[in-house]
């Protein structure tokens, strides 16, 4: 397949490029010119081409929880959101703590998936927190990082060993930073709102204590630490100071943490329940400052599908998590770029170049010649309301249903092939 994208604004942070031109792809790679005429020509007028978006934090639920999501449905939802690569967390059933499960996911992704899937392996066997998983074997099978996401690695000694051991494989350890004793039985942020609602709160310190611990252990070991879903002003400051000291730590946040506060929990909607929970306006502002000053490297979705039956319970009993693939790009454009928190290039960098660097995804996150032809074409003028009916994910647990957006993915290209085109009049 020979592809030409004509006359398009190209924004590629990896090359500090923002200019109008053509993009050519042949045999799944970016090339400077095609060997013969194009099979497909895309008109780039009024559109923007960026490297394919990489979501470094998602839950595809397969194997084991196919009622919530599958690789097939999840990757379709991702493609619609302009995402060309996803890292998928290991809290599946069985957990990704063995080579056959990694192989199963890679094979399924190849057969039924339409975007690239990069599995994350468990830090500890079954993510039970007791014994390190066979990380070397998992690395050979194809994982790009380790995490016990969904749970923290509570035992500091095990976290130390994980950071030490993964160093030789250059595998980042993704920290779901939560002190389980402090968060125990909490269902939302601990604040005035939790008091008014009579819901048990999760203090910000439940996150920050573990961010601080893991930074100390990264300093001790020289390991590669990546902090997942940063939600508080205190966590942002801890990462900022650690980076100043030269400690190898990177961090991600998610659109809901720079868009919503725990005020929205007041309607008792379980689609506003996730872990870590929505915080307060000063945290939202601090997360934005952290994005702007480079403290936070990545914007990821933490796409966490749960069925309607599960979410339609009392707030207390509903599971934590919201979907995110289909709203990522629009939220970044409307909440960060339009509001001048980040430039377009600065925002795209956190979903392309930075993820590729942190997780060693060679040939991705860039539109340089020779790179893999993963490309997202943005339509900045596309206005729409995000409706439940439009959701491609198997689960519909989004707090953004009913929100109006301007700007989204028009065409998503993975390995040189068009995997999603918006049908719009
Ligand atoms: N974020 C969530 O609220 N839920 C995630 C787990 C996690 O990311 O910690 C899930 O797997 O449902
Ligand atoms: Zn988590
Ligand atoms: Zn997660």
Q: Given this model, what pLDDT does residue 424 score?
A: 61
What residue numbers bound the domain in which 356 lies? 52-366
404 inside domain: no
Query: ipTM greater than 0.95, yes or no?
Result: yes
Q: pLDDT for 185-205, tens place per residue?
A: 999 999 999 999 999 999 999
CA 241 to chain centre: 23
**Neighbouring C-beta atoms of residue 415, cutoff 10 Å:** 17
Its sign, for the CA torsion 379, 381, 386, 387, is negative
Burial of residue 70 (number of CB atoms within 10 Å: 0-12, 13-18, 19+): buried
- Return the residue whose CA atom lies nearest to atom 6 of ligand 1: 150
Average pLDDT, the chain: 98
275 alpha carbon, closest ligand = 1
Distance CA 211, CA 214 (A): 5
CA-wise closest residue to 424 among 360, 379, 359: 379
Contacts of 414 (CB under 8 A, 6+ apart): 52, 79, 84, 114, 115, 116, 374
pLDDT at 381 over 70: yes
pLDDT cut 70: percent of the chain above it = 99
pLDDT at 423 over 80: no
Residue 179 known to be catalytic: no
Q: pLDDT for 241-277, tens place per residue?
A: 999 999 999 999 999 999 999 999 988 899 999 999 9
Radius of gyration of the chain from its Cα atoms, rounded to whole angstroms = 20
- Return the residue whose CA atom lies nearest to atom 3 of ligand 1: 321
Distance CA 418, CA 413 (A): 4
Residue to substitute in 150, 206, 271 for testing ligand 1 pocket (most ligand atoms within 8 angstroms of CB):
150
320 is in an annotated binding site: yes
Q: Given this model, what pLDDT does residue 58 score?
A: 99
266 inside domain: yes
Residue in this structure with the two tokens 């339609």, named with its chain if needed: 312
Cβ(226)–Cβ(252) below 8 Å? yes
Rounded to a whole number of angstroms, the distance between the first and last alpha carbons of the chain is 27
DSSP string, 61-78: -TTT-TTT--HHHHHHHH
Q: How many domains does the chain have?
A: 1
Q: Answer yes or no: is the C-beta of 256 below 6 A from any ligand 1 atom.
A: no
DSSP string, 368-383: STTSB--EEEEEEEEE
392 inside domain: no
23 inside domain: no
User: Which CATH number fits the domain that encloses residue 177?
Assistant: 3.20.20.140
CA-wise closest residue to 407 among 340, 329, 321, 349: 329
Q: pLDDT for 149-168, tens place per residue?
A: 999 999 999 999 999 999 99
Residue in this structure with the two tokens 């619609």, named with its chain if needed: 80
Cβ(273)–Cβ(398) below 8 Å? no
Q: Given this model, what pLDDT does residue 425 score?
A: 46
10 inside domain: no
Q: pLDDT for 75-120, tens place per residue?
A: 999 999 999 999 999 999 999 999 999 999 999 999 999 999 999 9
Q: Answer yes or no: is the C-beta of 320 below 6 A from any ligand 1 atom.
A: yes
Q: Answer yes or no: is the C-beta of 152 below 6 A from any ligand 1 atom.
A: no
Q: Given this model, what pLDDT does residue 325 score?
A: 99
Show the DSSP H helices in 222-369 as ranges.
233-244, 255-259, 281-292, 308-311, 328-331, 344-349, 353-358
- Return the residue whose CA atom lies nearest to atom 10 of ligand 1: 304
pLDDT at 143 over 60: yes
420 inside domain: no
24 inside domain: no
184 inside domain: yes
Contacts of 317 (CB under 8 A, 6+ apart): none
12, 22, 262, 302: which one is catalytic?
302
- Return the residue whose CA atom lies nearest to atom 8 of ligand 1: 150
């Amino acid at each position: 397949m020979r592809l030409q994208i004509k006359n398009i604004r190209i924004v590629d942070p990896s090359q500090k490029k923002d200019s109008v031109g053509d993009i050519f792809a042949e045999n799944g790679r970016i090339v400077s010119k095609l060997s013969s005429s194009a099979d497909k020509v895309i008109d780039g007028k009024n559109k923007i081409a960026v490297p394919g978006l990489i979501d470094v934090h998602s839950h595809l639920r397969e194997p084991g929880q196919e009622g919530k999501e599958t690789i097939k449905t999840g990757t379709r939802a991702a493609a619609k959101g302009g995402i060309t690569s996803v890292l998928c967390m290991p809290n599946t059933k069985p957990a990704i703590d063995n080579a056959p499960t990694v192989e199963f996911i890679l094979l399924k992704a190849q057969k039924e998936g339409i975007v690239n899937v990069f599995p994350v392996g468990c830090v500890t066997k079954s993510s039970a927190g007791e014994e390190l998983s066979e990380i070397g074997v998992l690395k050979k099978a194809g994982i790009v990082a380790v995490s016990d996401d969904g749970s923290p690695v509570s035992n500091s000694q095990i976290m130390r060993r994980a950071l030490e051991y993964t160093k030789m494989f250059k595998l980042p350890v993704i920290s779901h930073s939560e002190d389980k004793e402090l968060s125990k039985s909490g269902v939302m942020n601990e604040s005035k709102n939790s008091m008014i609602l009579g819901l048990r709160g999760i203090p910000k310190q439940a996150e920050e204590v573990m961010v601080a611990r893991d930074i100390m252990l990264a300093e001790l070991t020289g390991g590669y630490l990546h902090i997942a879903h940063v939600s508080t002003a205190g966590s942002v400051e801890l990462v900022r100071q650690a980076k100043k000291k030269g400690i190898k730590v990177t961090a991600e946040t998610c659109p809901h943490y720079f868009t919503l506060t725990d005020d929205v929990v007041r309607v008792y909607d379980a689609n506003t329940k996730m872990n870590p929970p929505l915080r307060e306006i000063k945290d939202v502002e601090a997360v934005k400052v952290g994005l702007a000053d480079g403290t936070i490297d990545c914007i990821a979705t933490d796409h966490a599908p749960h069925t309607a039956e599960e979410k339609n319970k009392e707030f207390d009993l509903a599971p934590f998590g919201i979907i995110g693939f289909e709203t990522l790009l629009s939220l970044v454009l409307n909440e960060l770029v339009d509001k001048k928190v980040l430039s377009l290039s600065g925002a795209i960098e956190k979903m392309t170049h930075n993820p590729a660097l942190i997780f060693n995804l060679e040939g991705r996150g860039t539109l340089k010649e020779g790179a893999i032809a993963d490309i997202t074409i943005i339509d900045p003028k596309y206005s729409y309301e995000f409706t439940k009916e439009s959701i491609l994910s198997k689960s519909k647990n989004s707090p953004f249903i009913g929100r109006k957006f301007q700007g989204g993915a028009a065409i998503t290209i993975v390995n040189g092939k068009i995997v999603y085109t918006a049908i719009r009049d």
